A and B are shown apart, each in its own frame.
Chain A
């Protein structure tokens, strides 16, 4: 159903730690507006893969192509500048700061007060926060409130909002629903649908097959560092995926 040119392509990627082959000869593609789920048991290599894509690890072999161009990242910042944003399970928000301050953390806008004194441009941060969050259909009344005031799903939305504001084209989401209650999980799933509608690519990692089937277009299963199978969601079912995950 989606034959656009790949946004991200991973070709024969390997990452070895000494004798341990955490990831071996792995390939996958993500197209614009596509959600690709990564599934696999603990230690299957999911985390190694996303760390290699997001610049935390340098791959031992293979290549990563972004819109057809080979890229290599030596730090997560470089990956982020190229539009690959990772949203971690533990969120990576500064709880004591507002939504705007979190969106701009590390890249705060400044303005000149009285024409000469550089000060933080809080208004710009608040306006950007409001616009970004409303693009995600998330309406906040208290923009100056610290994000610790928000619920888990809302905080997840802030983390996603940060990626959207900086125009990330590929969002890697590591267990975005793991720490949330059921209604909150549904909200995150709906956020992912919106990212998809905006034409971004999403790599979605989850243990929860229900979530994977609710949101993904394709599922890639990893087992012991190698690709154990790839299925379109419409053409597979839970049992088949579990079999791929555990082997046999």
Chain B
């Protein structure tokens, strides 16, 4: 017999060693996690220098520029907050762009219809509410397809992309639907202490979403499911129910985005969110989430959305042909993912002894 007896083994009592916090490692991780904010700072400095050299004018200290960038960022950010939840869970929601379009059309119609019967401010609220609720319907279908019928999120939401798109165009009669409601127009274009209402609404919404993701069981389970769905199931988490609520939540984010679009342009258009879907995914990825699931934060996504908005607005501001935007955003996405990979290789891998 070659083995030691239980008694001998117990005497040795080799307990697992404590881990040792490695300062250098955690610094690398911190930089990688905050990379979206570093990008943002770098871009703002670039545009500031460029602007001063080319026009002798400030870029970032001009309140009009800041307003415009914030307004630019609102719609993609609303889609991206929902997308952040979905991507952290290991899924993806491709239908958000056209759910936003559908919601914009519904918001316009509902506001107009309600405006005929009730006072304008109430009609505005009814329109927003209708947009968010109607947006929840494709969300429920997405959630059921993915959780009950085991359709992969990419395919299920791609199907819903088409369904929402067609429905939105049908509802809009193939055109844009103008909104006749002065309150709604004021909401979309008014300012409070030089801050647009849209930005204030979005900021409050983002803080609520941050709270849900970082401080509630729903958020915690979302991270767990993205990292190891099997472990989450074994821990007793109802994954089907979670996934359903998740896709409803993301669709409702797009619904709010559509309603605010209708407010800003005083019209609902089916194609409102068409170019924003991929921007939303890009914002989440630049913000530090992994498409494999399990990581990401709302504030990272905020930075990601601002990076995209600064590139888009900044290049227009310094008078570069707008097509460079696509190249610049594309390069930022690739660099961001490369940093993430490098960080994982350097510090994310398990510390084997």
A interface residues with partner B (beta carbon < 8 Å): 76-77, 80, 88, 90-97, 101, 105-108, 110, 113, 117-120, 136-142, 145, 148-154, 157, 181, 183-184, 186-187, 189-191, 193, 209-210, 213-217, 233, 237-238
Contacts and interface: CB of A to CB of B under 8 A. Distances in A.
A50 to B, nearest CB: 13
A190 B15 CA distance: 7
With a 10 A CB-CB cut-off, give which of B6, B10, B18, B294 has the most chain A CB atoms.
Answer: B6
Contacts of B217: 108, 110, 120
Contacts of A142: 19, 21
30 contacts: A76-B234, A77-B236, A88-B234, A92-B235, A93-B231, A94-B228, A95-B228, A105-B232, A107-B235, A110-B217, A117-B211, A119-B216, A120-B215, A138-B16, A138-B18, A140-B19, A141-B21, A142-B19, A150-B350, A151-B350, A152-B352, A154-B17, A154-B19, A183-B14, A183-B353, A190-B10, A190-B13, A193-B9, A210-B3, A237-B1
A235 B15 CA distance: 28
A189 B228 CA distance: 26
A186 B18 contact: no
B223 A92 contact: no
B351 A150 contact: yes
B352 A94 contact: no
B263 interface: no
A215 B6 contact: yes
A145 B19 contact: yes
B220 to A, nearest CB: 6
A73 to B, nearest CB: 13
B57 to A, nearest CB: 44
Given A137-B16, A140-B18, 15 more contacts: A92-B230, A92-B235, A96-B226, A108-B217, A140-B19, A141-B20, A149-B19, A149-B350, A151-B352, A154-B17, A186-B12, A190-B9, A193-B13, A213-B3, A233-B6
Interface string B1-35: 11111100110111111111100000000000000
B351 A137 contact: no
A58 B17 CA distance: 40
Contact of A106 (B216, B235, B294): B235
Contacts of A118: 215-216
A113 B214 CA distance: 13
A53 to B, nearest CB: 15
A186 B14 contact: yes
Contacts of A117: 211, 215
B19 A150 contact: yes
Contacts, number: 146
Dominant secondary structure of chain B at its interface with chain A: loop
Contact of A184 (B227, B237, B294, B353): B353
Given A105-B224, A183-B353, A193-B6, A154 B16 contact: yes
B295 interface: yes
A124 to B, nearest CB: 13
Contacts of B322: none
A238 B1 contact: yes
B221 interface: yes
A234 to B, nearest CB: 8
B162 interface: no
Nearest to A113: B215
A92 B216 contact: no
Contacts of A157: 16
Contact of B220 (A90, A108, A189): A108
Contacts of A215: 6, 9
Nearest to B21: A142
Given A138-B15, A214-B3, A101 B227 contact: no
Contact of B348 (A94, A148, A186, A217): A148
Nearest to B15: A137
Contacts of B236: 77, 80, 106-107
B260 to A, nearest CB: 26
Nearest to B296: A96
A186 B19 CA distance: 17
Interface in B119-174: none
Nearest to A125: B220
B231 A94 contact: yes
B18 A148 contact: no
Contacts of B12: 186, 190
Nearest to B237: A106
Nearest to B9: A214
A32 to B, nearest CB: 17
